[in-house]
Structure 1
Amino acid sequence: MSEPTARPPASGAKDQVARLLTLVPYLHARESVRLDEAAAALGVSPQQLLKDLKVLLMCGLPGGYPDDLIDVDLDALEDPGGDGVIRISNADYLSRPMRLTPTEASAVVVALRALRNGASPDTRQVVDRALAKLEAAAAEAVSARIDPGRDGADVDTALLARRLQEATTAGRQVRLTYFVPARDEESERVVDPRGVVTGQGWSYLDAYCHSAEAPRLFRLDRISSAEVLDSATTTDPEPPRDLSEGLFARSSSTTVATLRLAAPARWVVDYYPVEEVRALGEGPDAAWEVDLLVADERWLTRLLLRLAPHARLVRPEEFTDSFLAEATRTLGLYEQLT
């Protein structure tokens, strides 16, 4: 008579979670099943299955109150007079498929698409299968036009991020209508999208702007419309920039500008990311010299006009001419009014 084959040890938190995820649907599919029968079907020993059932007692819905947790009849399994039948209750929600809100589904889709960009071919296949299922479910949910309530803006932003990421993957240009706070106006421009990124709590589209002829970041909540065009992108594809260290990073399209700020203009340091701050004296009225990265000369000109007469451009000197020309034009407008 041959010896029974020993089962491999079933230990480890990861293995136990996998068994619990299998155990509950298995029990729900059967009205009653004995402990030894379930253990054989699941490939574990009755002792291990009993340990898993005791862990299941501490699982349930958030809150942790008795009515939130799964109940297991341990008396039937441990008492000498018990019948050895597994009985669980208060776990009906586990037999239902998980439902995601439009916000949750869209957020997961955006995260998976970001993961896909840097994934290996094997991982990308898995991500693509998950994306196909999620996008089909999300499209069905959106088509129902359920009122999202207070989360409506989040839903719109998440869906916009999803469309922009799809345009990036397809290599299609996008026509944006974008609100520019500095000019208090909306502008329309065609961009080559490079991806959706997050920085300082906001979501941005990183794209090459054909109007500015340079890469730009567009905050998603300031995009009033985005039309994916049939035309293909014309610039070389590049990965979206990393915003983990801030919105501004040194690149071939940025210039370090040095400003000298009097005390009334030192608020710039708190409002904009700066590279370095140097105090030019002591005391509360001392001037500061600051270095900051500039990607658009027009932005720097508008900033200097706001700060005048409490700020002066130290370098680069080539920005001085454009600032003086704009300042002269602005003064001319005031003279016409008077």
Structure 2
Amino acid sequence: MNWFPSMAKNSTSPLNKAARMLDLVPYLHAHQGIALETLAQNFGVTESEMNADLTTLWMCGLPGYTPLELIDLSFDSGFVTIRNAQTLENPRSLNKEEAIALLLGLDLVRSALSVEREDLITKIDQLSQRLRGLIGLQAHLKAEPAIDGSIRSTITKSIASGTSLDIRYHSLYADRISQRTILPIEWQNDAFHEYVFAYCDQAQSFRTFRLDRIQYANEGVKKLKAEKVSKMIESPARAYRIRIHSHLRAARELFEFEGDDKELHTGIEKEISSFTAEWMRRMIFSAGASVELLSPEAERADIVSSARALLALYEGK
């Protein structure tokens, strides 16, 4: 039985690995001598992944890294035992450097959360406030990565000239790096970050990209026509309604709709906006049987007809 089903989803992502190792210590303390195979099954990962987690955990502990300050693990025999994790329960005071490191880490975690996770954001803000009070720090610390000035310059030139760019973009929420061709339209700012509002060729729609998550930007190999995009801006987006039958998280990433993961369930219906019917057609086909287009009726009928024709070819009719 998988006691941690959420861990099985994208188990290799950094956030999931960190969460899993935090859960491992109390779990092992309560299940001394558990078989490695059983432990991996309970956490929804492979034995090799669990072995890698235990190896990392074996090098964790209190600062100083003397033998008495590390977690003492034994798992070479195929059975896992933890011996001195209880020492980590002892209260520990933080010096200023350690508190600042924690504040920066908390800010990175906060920036990776979606706005729907208001519960976690509130807890992080409360903990950060306590840490700042502990060391007498009045200012808010931001863990902002340095932005390559050449990327900003390249995007600014692209906006002025109306030329497309090839970018590599890191989506922290999906924990995924993707290659995209975009036509930048304008800069946007909020209190903390710079954004690029652009037409994305892969999405066949408009998207907003955070500047510090763009890893590189070069002149686009595929040329997007600024005139065509300008007409799309002037024309209203069409509304589409879909029903999700399975692979809920994959559908959310594919169609990029808003909402909390907790709200997702089989059969849920969502309103999606798109400027082109062709983009919606491609997305529905790529989702297979997991997503159904409900409306508009004309596009639904067209997809049904195409699907039947493809199925007939596959069956040799």
Relative to the length of structure 1, the TM-score reads 0.32
Q: Which structure has the larger Rg?
A: 1
The structure with higher relative contact order (CA 8 Å, sep 6+) is: 2
Relative to the length of structure 2, the TM-score reads 0.34
